[in-house]
Amino acid sequence: MIHVLAIITAKPGKREEILGHFRANMPAVHAEEGCIEYGPAIDAEGMGKFQTPFGPDTFVVIEKWESAEHLKAHAAAPHMAAYAARTKDLIESRVIHVLSPAA
């Protein structure tokens, strides 16, 4: 299994607009072969001082894929290229961490 954490920071005030495009693309991603989990998450409210918040312009995409090959196919999918084109001018930064389970 492959885990992915994609940290997306929108240009100020644009997070909800990106999330709208993201949510519209989710059914296509969920239909991909090998997709186990794919969804956005934002800072939980009221967690206290032990939390390190990402802030109001950032969201994290939490993904699980059956294999690296499935993830690579996802990255090359036409709907992902279309999503990237729709959101490229709204994104300040994007950091993607691809992880394997620790043995």
Would you call 68 helix, strand, or coil by DSSP? helix
How large is the C-alpha radius of gyration of the chain?
Answer: 14
Helix (H) or strand (E) holding 101: none
16-72: pLDDT as tens digits: 999 999 999 999 999 999 999 999 999 999 998 999 999 999 999 999 999 999 999
Average pLDDT over residues 6-16: 98
* Among the four given CATH numbers 3.10.620.30, 3.10.129.10, 3.30.70.100, 3.40.50.1370, the one describing domain 2-44+54-99: 3.30.70.100
Q: Extract the tokens encoding 4.
A: 């992915």
Q: pLDDT tens digit string along 70-84?
A: 999 999 999 999 999
Q: What is the pLDDT of residue 82?
A: 98
Identify the CA nearest to 87 among candidates 6, 33, 31: 6
pTM: 0.93
Provide the residue ranges of all domains of the chain, joining segments of one domain with +.
Answer: 2-44+54-99
pLDDT at 103 over 90: no
